[in-house]
Structure 1
C-alpha cells in the first residue's frame, strides 16, 4: 500500500508542480465503497468540494450522487520489473494505537503518505503530534507558516476522509517525544528516514521510563519526481523532498512578484 500511495502522490504532485499549481490540494483515498448508491460516503464532510473525479475504464466505484465522474482510458504499463506490493497483514502489522508527528505546515504529499500509513496501521487510535508554534520560530519564511490550529485541522480533515473509523488524537507537541514520552499504551511509531534520529531519542526515553518498546515503521522520503530518495545525507534529503520549506519559499516568491 505504501508503494501505491507514493506512486500516485508523486505522479499527481509532479504534474501540479509542472503547472505551477504548488498549492493544489491532492488527496488519495483508499476506501471500501460498499453500496451502489454511495452510502459509504454518507456522513463524510469534505472541507473542500471536489472539482472533478477521474475514474479508469468502465469499472468505476460508486460515488456520491452529486459527483459525475470523468472516465479515463485504461492503460497497461510496459515495465516488467514492477512487483505487486501486498498491504501489511492485519495480524502482523496493524496495532491498536499508533503515533506519528510533524509540522504539517502547508500539508503536502509527504505528510499525507505518513498520515495515511499511520491510519492504516492503527486499528483503534492514531496519535498525531503537531509541532507547536514555539518550536518553529527558526524556520525559514516563518511569516507564511500556517497557524497551529489550521495545521491540526488539516490533519483531522485528512483522517476523517481516509479512515473515519480510527479515533484521532491530534495534539500540539513541545518536544520530540509528544505523547510517546508519557503514554505507555502506544504500540507503534511511524517515521520518515529524515526523522530517524527523533525515533531513536523516543526509544531511549521510553526505555528509561520503563515503557514498552515501540514497533517502528519507516516511510521513504520522496520528491515530486522520485518515489524514494536513498541518501544518508540529511541535508540532501531536506533539500530534495516534497517539503513545507519549498512551499513557503514559493509563496514568498509569488507575493514578491505580485508586489512589483
Structure 2
C-alpha cells in the first residue's frame, strides 16, 4: 500500500450531465502509477461512487494518439470491473480540461476503447466507442430468479423486448418494463439479486421502458458493486444499443436517447449512436467537475 503522502490527487466528476448535481459521479485518478490494487479499491470504497477510474501509462504496443493514450482500470466500492462507461466519460473530460479536446485511447480490460472529446460553448462532451457487443439468451430459471429478486411479475414485462444478456465491455441483463410506473417502482432484494448476478457474471441489470421509437428511460441496480442503483450507466447503454440492434428493435442507423437518474433525483442523459456496418456502439455524454 502507498503512504498517504505519496497518494495522487483524486478528482471528482459527474458524467452524462453538465450539472454537478446530475448524472453519475465518479472518482478519477489521472496518475495512478503509484497505487496497487488495494489502494485503488480503498480509494473507490472511500468515495462510495459506483465506480472510479485509475489511469496509468499505456501498455507497450498499443497504437494510439501520442500523449493521449492510457491504460484505465475501474473499481467499484467492492471490486474491479472490466469496463465502466460513466467513469470513462469522466476521465476523458478531466483529461480534456488539461490537454484540450480531441481523440483519446483507453486500454481497458475489455479491450481498446477510443474516445473523442469535444467542447462547444463551454460544455465538454465525450463519445466512447465500445468493444464489439454480443447478445445471448437467458435461461428461464435465471429470468424467474431475477424477477423474483426484483419483485416484478412476468406480466409487467414488455413482450416486444425479450429478456437477454447483453455485452459491450461488461455483461448486463436487459429487462423491459411495460409501463413507466413499473420502472419507477424499484425496491428489490439486494442479496438475492447480487447472488444471481455473481453467478451470471453480470455488472448491472438494465431495466428499460420505451417512451417512443428512440427515447428510453432506464435504471440499473448494481448490488455487485455495493451500490443499490447506478445513476447513469454508459456500459449498460452500450450493451443496450447492441441488444436493440441485434434484435431488430431499432434501425441499423439510429440515435437513441436514454434518460436515467430521474427516479434518484440525479437526472442524466446518454446518447447511443448505431452505424450500419460498424459493430461498435457509441455512447455520448457531457461531464463536469464536482466541487
What interval of TM-score do these two structures reach, taking the shorter chain for normalisation?
Answer: under 0.3
User: More helix per residue: 1 or 2?
Assistant: 1
Task: Give the number of the structure whose alpha-carbon radius of gyration is greater.
Answer: 1
If the length of structure 1 is used for normalisation, what is the TM-score? Answer: 0.23
